[in-house]
Structure 1
Amino acid sequence: MPDAGPPSARRHLLWPPWMDRNLRLVWSARLVMSVGRALAGVVTALYLADRGLSAVGIALVFMVVALASALLSSLSGLLSDRVGRKPFLVVFPLLTAAAGLVFALARPLALLVVFAALGSFGRGAGAGAGAVGPYQAVESALATESVRAGRRNDVFGRLAFASSLGALAGGLLADLAHRHHGALGAVIAAYRPAFLAVAACSALAGLLALWIREPARTTGGDDVPVPRGKERRGGMRWPARSVPLLVRLWATNTVNGVAVGMFGPFVSYWFALRYHVGPGEIGALFAVVNLATLPTTLEAAGLARRFGIIRAMTALRLAQAVLLVPMVLSPSFLLAGAIYLVRMAAQRAALPLRQSYVLAMAHPEERASVAALSNLPSQLAMGASPLASGYLLEEVSLSLPFELAGLLQALNAGLYWLFFRHAAPEEERARSARTGSGGAVGVGLGGAGDVEAAGRAPADGRG
């Protein structure tokens, strides 16, 4: 938690002295972007349904969006390690703003799909709010480079807090949309205010990023800057030094991607079908969830310090898996919402730790590439699995896709523990060494910890 004493603790809770100008801009951009993402997450599936698309049709749209997002995320991660972070933090939110305008004004379904893909638009639930788009790996790399290792979990917790706060506002704004079954023009008009709000929030996030001043990058250690002329040569480069880490992440993230793709895009749609509620009720539920779970993001760093980051993440992932089943079997909207709230509390605490761990274990020159590529199988799986889920929702059972997703997430938790239980990040190994408590040690994942343990790496990366 922040270093400030009791008199100033409240003032520095979100923006402590160690958060520099860049981190405050990133935090603010994450906040407003999450408002738009959450609002779009509530209304997009309902809007497509009111335009006459079936569950399978909605799944096909989200599949296209997921595949495009995977491609854009990978390209942005690989390129930003060579050309810098800032351009991606400006351009991608503006693409989402353009998608919001198209959804607010356009009629042709094909045009909606194209802009949804370019803006990674409408995926996820309004209480999810963990992702801000394909540039999240770039944002995470910039945040990691702006803070010392001991504060990395804290800064990701604060970014997750911004997402939760934004999702709270986005859920409340969902009442701007009113379900309307009828003529196409009337349906578009009913949802127009919500999509215009998404466009405005996204554009503001891109404009805030214009004021970011990108720091000098590092090579083998956190104190060795890379000259800007050198860091921009060579175009995209495969993160060869982080391949052992990537292989393990690909295995776990693929399983999790299938699970999340089966239920994530359909949460608001499922609530509407299962309990016959509309955007207002669903938005209100997501607002309550986001308000109640706000503190969990700030406590994530404390959980990692107390239990170790791998133990904490494994337990939280398992809790998310188990709670999906009673949620979908609940007889009432109120009970299902209460279980969903508890599940989201676990998800909110796990998210910043997961992001922080990947950036901690990646080689300093490959952070954005690793963060982006580690999610590639997950994004591809999330693109394919909604199609199966849409079929099951429409033809078999409203609960079966969620139950299968719970089983897959439980498997994911077990794999995560198996692969990473002995691979602690640098700050945990240093803390264990100081206290003489032993604990987890690195297993040679080719990341930042290996570089630090071996001393300063040469500037050209050759050992």
Structure 2
Amino acid sequence: MIHDYVRAMTRSTLNARVYLTFTFLMSLYVGISNVIFNLYILELGYNEQSIGLLISAALLATGLFAFPAARCCDRMGSRMCLVTSGLLTAVSMYLLYTVTSMELLLALSVLNGVFATIPTVIGVPFLMENSSPEDRLHIFSVNFGIFVFATVIGTSLGGYLPQLSAVFFGMPELSVEAYRYTLMVSLAVAALSVVPLIFIKEHKRTCPVRSDTKAFLRKLVESRTIRQLVIISCLIGTGAGLIVPFFNVYFNKILQAGPDQIGLIFSLAQASMVLGAAVVPYIATRFGKVKTISLTYLLSLPFLLMLAFTTNLYLAGGAYILRMLFMNMSSPVSNSFSMEIVRQDERASVSSLTSTANCFALAGGSFIAGMLMTWGVQTMPYLAACGFYTIAAVLYYRFFRGRETAPGTGGQTPAEAEPSA
């Protein structure tokens, strides 16, 4: 197993290794921010509905900017787009962490959502173009593994940095100032992530955009495969939007967990996902990609229900860890598979389309969940998320069970073998 990963990394391109470094640094930033930001907003005096509004605004901006982002990539190149978006993200996040009025927080959340679109749209096609078919699944797994490993470190730091701020600066641990110092540390890491992107070598058009954009988009929408990918993205996005952005709020307000406990639980969950990312290529080879994706989605549901109904922090923490493991371990497989079943010239546009659908669904789910939690309805979002995930798992299997090569055969999928139009 390890030999396969070493061989894939040895044969990987400079661009792939640069992007993996970028993934590590950005994931470190995400890990810290994921633990602290919602708690920071609550400490400012706002409620869950306000959190849902901020999250929804950022996600809607990301979704709306997905296709313009692909066009920017086509005109400016991957390196320039990634570097520019990284710098602008750092500026917008600095302002987001310093202002306190809801109007400014909302406007800056929108800007941050726009700037975050570039790596969201470019990432998967970029790795596809900079990896060989025989190494692709391992490269995607390494990328996912780096993401979760760095997030482990980030969530651990996010949980304990407020304590360090309290010690060094003489402020209350659970205060706006302690949370803000922690967020500024995450911001420094995000700014540092721009440095490796400078070394990207432009040699392929990762985001080709057709001149007849409207006609091409119409063709995409008419594609049965792409419609099915969009449906799955909407279902998963809605389910995730109902619960994922509010896990730290749930642990803090309902289960009375402190930032250090939340950080520990989140880091253990991410650590479990490293193991999942490492073994999932072999599970997919044994059982098939589609079956692996559907089954892992379904296996996460009992733990999500347990998380919704328990009042014991330790039981909830264990349920959260297992839920995150099963729901996310197949991400490398689903990301690569979704690109394999469409033509090469469609990949960037399909990535934009599914990202848009996913962001809109996440935004809607987050806004609804924020209102429900403000009204004191804590379990309904979890039950609804289970419903959306179940439908997504069943439909994924029905849609795509005949669309992959036989397990263990390797080779090209029909989409990879088909010439560009």
The reply to whether TM is greater than 0.5 is yes
Unaligned 5+ segments in structure 2 are none
Deviations 1:282-319 (A, max 9, x none): 01111122223312112221121111110000001112
Residue 295 (structure 2) aligned to one of 315, 320, 326 = 315
The whole-number CA distance in structure 1 between the counterparts of 2:415 and 2:273 is 35
Paired AA for residue 147 in structure 2: S
The 8 Å contact of residues 324 and 402 in structure 1, kept in 2 or not, is answered as yes
The whole-number CA distance in structure 2 between the counterparts of 1:429 and 1:240 is 32
Residue 391 (structure 1) aligned to one of 371, 390, 394 = 371
Deviations 1:411-452 (A, max 9, x none): 11111111111111xxx2595599xxxxxxx9xxxxx72461
The answer to whether 1:356 aligns with 2:341 is no
The answer to whether 1:452 aligns with 2:417 is yes
The answer to whether 1:150 aligns with 2:134 is yes
Per the TM alignment, residue 382 of structure 1 is displaced from its structure 2 partner at its CA by 1.1
The answer to whether 1:212 aligns with 2:212 is no
Q: Aligned ranges for residues 430-449 of structure 1 at < 5 Å?
A: 432=409, 449=414
Per the TM alignment, residue 372 of structure 1 is displaced from its structure 2 partner at its CA by 1.8
* Residue 14 of structure 2: aligned partner: 21
The 8 Å contact of residues 241 and 363 in structure 1, kept in 2 or not, is answered as no
1:110–1:187 distance in 2 versus 1, CA, 3 Å: farther
Question: How does the TM-score come out when normalised to structure 2?
Answer: 0.88
The 8 Å contact of residues 314 and 414 in structure 1, kept in 2 or not, is answered as yes
The whole-number CA distance in structure 2 between the counterparts of 1:135 and 1:26 is 10
The whole-number CA distance in structure 2 between the counterparts of 1:252 and 1:245 is 11
Paired AA for residue 60 in structure 2: L
* Residue 254 of structure 1: aligned partner: 234
Per the TM alignment, residue 156 of structure 1 is displaced from its structure 2 partner at its CA by 0.9
Residue 141 (structure 1) aligned to one of 103, 111, 125 = 125
* Residue 249 of structure 2: aligned partner: 269
Deviations 1:393-415 (A, max 9, x none): 22242222112111211111111
* Residue 128 of structure 1: aligned partner: none
* Residue 372 of structure 1: aligned partner: 352
The 8 Å contact of residues 105 and 188 in structure 1, kept in 2 or not, is answered as no
Larger helix fraction of residues: 2
Deviations 1:321-345 (A, max 9, x none): 3321111212311111111111111
The whole-number CA distance in structure 2 between the counterparts of 1:98 and 1:25 is 23
Unaligned 5+ segments in structure 1 are 122-131, 219-227, 435-441, 443-447
The whole-number CA distance in structure 2 between the counterparts of 1:314 and 1:330 is 26
The whole-number CA distance in structure 1 between the counterparts of 2:212 and 2:183 is 36
Tell me which stretches of 4 or more aligned residues in structure 1 moved more than 6 Å: none
Paired AA for residue 161 in structure 2: L
Residue 190 (structure 2) aligned to one of 194, 202, 226 = 202
Paired AA for residue 76 in structure 1: A
RMSD (Å), alpha carbons: 2.9
Per the TM alignment, residue 28 of structure 1 is displaced from its structure 2 partner at its CA by 0.7
Paired AA for residue 91 in structure 1: T
Per the TM alignment, residue 269 of structure 1 is displaced from its structure 2 partner at its CA by 0.5
Per the TM alignment, residue 44 of structure 1 is displaced from its structure 2 partner at its CA by 1.2
The answer to whether 1:160 aligns with 2:144 is yes
* Residue 77 of structure 2: aligned partner: 84
Instruction: Please say which of residues 48-57 and 84-93 is displaced more in the overlay.
Output: 84-93
Per the TM alignment, residue 97 of structure 1 is displaced from its structure 2 partner at its CA by 1.6
1:87–1:347 distance in 2 versus 1, CA, 3 Å: farther
Q: Aligned ranges for residues 23-422 of structure 1 at < 5 Å?
A: 23-81=16-74, 83-120=76-113, 134-174=118-158, 175-177=160-162, 187-217=175-205, 234=211, 238=216, 242=220, 243-422=223-402
The 8 Å contact of residues 92 and 111 in structure 2, kept in 1 or not, is answered as yes
Instruction: Please say which of residues 316-325 and 236-245 is displaced more in the overlay.
Output: 236-245
1:108–1:282 distance in 2 versus 1, CA, 3 Å: same
Per the TM alignment, residue 3 of structure 1 is displaced from its structure 2 partner at its CA by 4.9
Per the TM alignment, residue 177 of structure 1 is displaced from its structure 2 partner at its CA by 3.0
Question: How does the TM-score come out when normalised to structure 1?
Answer: 0.81
Say how many residue pairs are matched: 409
**Percent of pairs with identical residues:** 21
Per the TM alignment, residue 349 of structure 1 is displaced from its structure 2 partner at its CA by 1.4
The whole-number CA distance in structure 2 between the counterparts of 1:236 and 1:209 is 28
Paired AA for residue 70 in structure 1: G
The whole-number CA distance in structure 2 between the counterparts of 1:241 and 1:18 is 36
State the secondary structure of the residue aligned to 2:122.
helix
Per the TM alignment, residue 363 of structure 1 is displaced from its structure 2 partner at its CA by 1.5
The whole-number CA distance in structure 2 between the counterparts of 1:86 and 1:201 is 19
Instruction: Please say which of residues 283-292 and 112-121 is displaced more in the overlay.
Output: 112-121
1:449–1:336 distance in 2 versus 1, CA, 3 Å: same
Per the TM alignment, residue 78 of structure 1 is displaced from its structure 2 partner at its CA by 4.6
